[in-house]
Amino acid sequence: MDKVIIASNLSLSYSNDETIINKANFSVDSGSFIFITGASGSGKSTLLKSLYGALSPKEGSLIVGGVELRNVSGSKLNFLRRHIGIVFQDYKLVKEWTIEKNIMLPLIINGYEKGVTQNQVDSLLKHVRLKHQAGKYPQELSGGEQQRVAMARALSHNPILILADEPTGNLDDYSSQLIWNLLEGANTQLKTTVIVVTHHIPEAMGVAYKHFHIEFGSIHEVN
């Protein structure tokens, strides 16, 4: 099976003083569903940031989608990010854009035609049950609705990899269930690799998954 992520002796830190992830070795198969857990401040979000190139490895090697992220060039990083869907805990929606335009963003960046873009956005808005809110701005929606928009945006361009940072952290049950269903659907139907950073793995998961746990700077797989 192809590997989407290969980390060898990976060390991560924000400055030279403190190493957050220390010489970690792991790999992620294409099409797999991964949970990353760990205590607060253990480095879960830091690891996720390194996977989309927001934090460069201090030591070792990190290859995502065939791109080595240590000292990666801006153009290569942009190329990689165009094939990744990211869901943030704080949603990161563009406030001055309607939710329809927010969902369109990855499609615009990837140069899709207008007709294709509109069809894809309409379909995703139906999936996240927000078709009637298409023209509203993010601040007019509840937290759960905003996260559903962020989810739709992450799925819009059929990415090879979805990275989700505590996507259901503060959501109501309805929105949480919708998010999990969408992530499962992307994994089973589109064979998208999904990596979710979370404190709690849902009890009733409809897909097979792997579980990595971060503790004291090291990453190990939980069986």
Partner 1 sequence: MKSIRNHLSLVIALLSILFSIQIFNIVDRSVMAYKKNLSTNYSLVVVSNMTLNNKEIADADSNIDSMTELSPDNVIQRLNTGMSTKNMELLKHTLPKFYKVKLKHYPSPGEIESVTKNLLQNKNITKVENFSQSHDTTYKLLLLFKNVVSLFAVSIFVITTLLIFKELRIWQFKHSERMSIMALFGAPTWLRSAVLFRLAIVDALITSVIAFALFTYTAASPWVLKQFSDIGISIVIFDPIYDFLMLAGVAMFLSILLATLIVLGHKEEV
Nearer residue to partner 1 within complex by CB, 50 or 193: 50
**H-run or E-run covering 147:** helix 143-155
- 20 C-beta neighbours (distance < 10 Å), count: 20
What are the residues facing 161 on neighbouring strands?
Answer: 84, 193
**Which of 102/168 has CB closer to partner 1?**
102
Per-residue interface string for the shown chain with partner 1, residues 30-69, x marking contact by CB under 8 A: -------------------x--x-xx--------------
Instruction: Let me know: does 176 contact 204? Beta carbons within 8 Å.
Output: no
Nearest distance in Å: CB 92, partner 1: 5
Shortest CB 81 distance to partner 1, Å: 3
Query: Distance (Å, rounded) from C-alpha 141 to C-alpha 145?
Result: 6
Q: Are 95 and 137 in contact (CB under 8 A)?
A: yes
Residue whose CB is less far from partner 1, 95 or 132 = 95
In the shown chain, the binding pattern of residues 68 to 97 toward partner 1, with x for contact by CB under 8 A and - for none, equals: ------xx-xxxxxxxx-x-----xxxxxx
Structure-token match 């990190």, residue found:
62
CA atoms within 13 A on the CB side of 185: 13
The first and second tokens of residue 141, run together, are: 């929606």
Q: What is the CA radius of gyration of the chain?
A: 17
Do the Cβ atoms of 7 and 60 come closer than 8 Å?
yes
Q: How far is the CB of 99 from partner 1 (least distance, A)?
A: 14
E strand or H helix at 180, and its extent?
Answer: helix 173-189
Least distance from C-beta 206 to partner 1, angstroms? Answer: 28
Measured distance CA(88)–CA(153) in Å, rounded: 11
Q: Counting contacts by CB under 8 A, is residue 138 touching partner 1?
A: no
In the complex, minimum distance from the CB of residue 184 to partner 1, in angstroms, rounded to a whole number: 23
Q: Based on CB atoms, which residue is closest to partner 1, 49 or 148?
A: 49
Whether residue 10 contacts residue 36, with contact meaning beta carbons closer than 8 Å, is answered with: no
Based on CB atoms, which residue is closest to partner 1, 104 or 203?
A: 104
**Minimum CB separation from partner 1 for residue 5, in Å?**
17
User: Among residue numbers 103 through 132, which ones bind partner 1 (CB under 8 A)?
Assistant: 105-106, 108-110
CB closer to partner 1, 26 vs 79:
79
**Interaction site with partner 1 (CB under 8 A):** 14, 49, 52, 54-55, 74-75, 77-84, 86, 92-97, 105-106, 108-110
